[in-house]
Chains A and B, each alone.
Chain A
Amino acid sequence: MRFDLARTLLWASVVAILAFLFVPVAIIMVYAFSASNIQGWPIQSFTLQWFARTFADDEVRSALWLSIEVAVVATALAMLMGLLAALAVYRIRGAASEAIAFAIVLPIALPGILTGMALNSYFVLWGINLSFTTIVIGHATFCTVIVYNNVIARLRRLPPSWAEASADLGAGPWRTFRLITLPMLSSALGAGALLAFALSFDEVIVTTFTAGAQTTLPLWIFGAIRLGQHLPEVNVVVCVVILLTIVPVLLAQRLMGRAALLHK
């Protein structure tokens, strides 16, 4: 009887925590349909007009486009570096592999303000103007770990006998990589890329330190909330962004199983 009580309480707290996680997301999505300019609760009347207005807003559209461009380039770089680093770390043991893994995880293990501040003072030191390129450098740096984590997890589960069989049959290392290893890594690489894209698309703290006059979508949202301007449009953007980020996450989970998402 006592044990059952404990179990019931545990399940009840699971439900409570799920409510805690999802009620705020649900509430913010409902706001996108609010007709009012004032962000009060409960919502008095509903409309779709803010969707049309937001999609017609040039500022929002160019911010969205910039965010996509940054995320695409940063993801491509992160895929290349994450794959190479995972292949290297997989082949070595001991202190060197630990040091490399540590350096790669550092940009997300250290506070965002540090990564941002470090990059900012570095660019200023060299007299480099903040631009699209500096945003991408920051994003590629902290996205690499996501691809790396996915690929290394897959590599460690692959049976080495496959590559050995390929070598025994006379394939060189490049051929074995191209025909055996890479195809078996492709879904891990794909899942990592989707998540890296999602992370880059959403990032704001490092970006504020590495962007010059450029406004990514999160920077636009942040600015609008801070100044209290265009709030109905912010509601719409935020609602759409939430819906959009669900797609890569669910896709990545499909591709990889849960290992993909364990590390943001």
Chain B
Amino acid sequence: MPVSASLTGLLWRRPALRVAALISLPAVWFVLFYLAALAAMFISSFHTVDELSGEIQPGWTLDNFRQLLGDWTYGRIALRTIGIAAAVTLTDGLLAWPFAYVMARYAGPRLRPALMALVMLPLWSSYLARVYAWRLILAHDGALNWLLHGLGLPAASIGYSNWAMWIVFTYLWLPFMILPLFASLERIPPSLLEASSDLGAAGWRTFRRVIVPLAMPGLVAGSIFTFSLTLGDYITPLLVGGPGSDFIGNVVYANVGVSNNIPFAAAFAVLPLLVMAGYLLIARKLGAFDAL
């Protein structure tokens, strides 16, 4: 076929053209369906909904943002969301250390892939199943209180509370922290640690001055996921949070599904967008993108 042959020839002689041909489909898809969608969300946050007809009124008004800033309820929801996302990220950051460290430094060649698989499996197994498991465990007649009762301890009533959300989110996203942390710990050459101890640094000092700084990109890469996934969730607050534990996502979801006020939902969703934009900028500075 002369046409295809000449096309092949053209692509062969012009490498830039070849790259352009390769990237065109994904580029069109991502611009058309993702970046344009983010832009559409941003634009519709300036629209309003006619209270009588329920129709969206195009235009440029700050009414939605004024309403969000004027009502402290939304401020509390935003603070709760960001606060719990930060608490979960810190907790996972702490819990991931011993696991990732043992995996990188002590586990043998057979144990290491096994530990890796054990961290992966819950990560990929059903999200809803894992949230639901905790809903049952933390419930009043659940496994936790059964255990406490067996130990002769008083029953805990942490089901349907902010504590429950903290535990469940920490549980859900822990593997996302362990894996990149392990990857960056594994890359530290043992000779660096030997050099540090040869120069007289005790174990703890080597850890603090050599290991932690070198592991930072991995830790920050993991934190992008733990923070962002918590920030954008509304299912876990709905299933294990109590009344009055709404996240930004719950308000967004309710305004899309129930009240049909898409502009208002879009306006509130702009907040996590800004928070994540800031977070990603800082993460980039800390070298997390190379560890992603």
Contact = CB atoms under 8 A, between A and B. Distances in A.
Contact of A226 (B122, B146, B238, B256): B238
Given A27-B136, A117-B269, A218-B128, A88 B121 contact: no
A117 B266 CA distance: 7
B29 interface: yes
A226 B239 contact: yes
A204 interface: yes
A10 B106 contact: yes
B124 A28 contact: no
Given A25-B130, A28-B133, A238-B132, A173 B44 contact: no
Interface stretch (A46-54, A68-76, A182-190, A239-247): A239-247
B3 interface: no
Interface in A116-139: 117-122, 124-125, 137
A140 B19 CA distance: 22
Interface stretch (B31-39, B66-74, B192-200, B209-217): B31-39
B124 A249 contact: yes
B220 interface: no
B133 A173 contact: no
B134 A24 contact: yes
B117 interface: yes
Given A17-B174, A87-B22, A110-B228, A246 B121 contact: yes
Nearest to A259: B183
Contacts of A141: 29-30, 33-34
A151 B137 CA distance: 40
A36 to B, nearest CB: 11
A195 interface: yes
A80 B257 CA distance: 33
Contacts of A39: 136, 139
B163 interface: no
Contact of A25 (B11, B44, B122, B231): B122
B119 interface: yes
A10 to B, nearest CB: 5
A110 B232 contact: yes
Contacts of B22: 84-85, 87-88, 91
A24 B233 contact: no
B127 interface: yes
Interface residues of A, number: 92
Interface in A73-102: 80-82, 84-85, 87-89, 91-92, 98, 100, 102
Interface string B117-147: 1111111111111101111110101110010
Contact of A205 (B25, B132, B234): B234
Interface range on chain B (Cβ under 8 Å from partner): 35 or more
B248 A262 contact: no
Contacts of A42: 143, 146
A109 interface: yes
B224 interface: yes
A84 B26 contact: yes
A28 B136 contact: yes
Contacts of A88: 19, 22-23, 26
Nearest to B146: A41
Contact of B257 (A11, A40, A208): A208
Contacts of B19: 88, 91-92
Contacts of B118: 18, 21-22
Contact of B292 (A82, A91, A117, A263): A263
Interface of B: 8, 11-12, 15, 18-19, 22-23, 25-27, 29-30, 33-38, 40-41, 43-44, 56, 95, 98-99, 101-103, 106, 113, 115-130, 132-137, 139, 141-143, 146, 171, 174-176, 179-180, 183, 203, 224-225, 228-229, 231-235, 238-239, 248-249, 252-253, 256-257, 262, 265-266, 269, 272-273, 276, 280, 289, 292
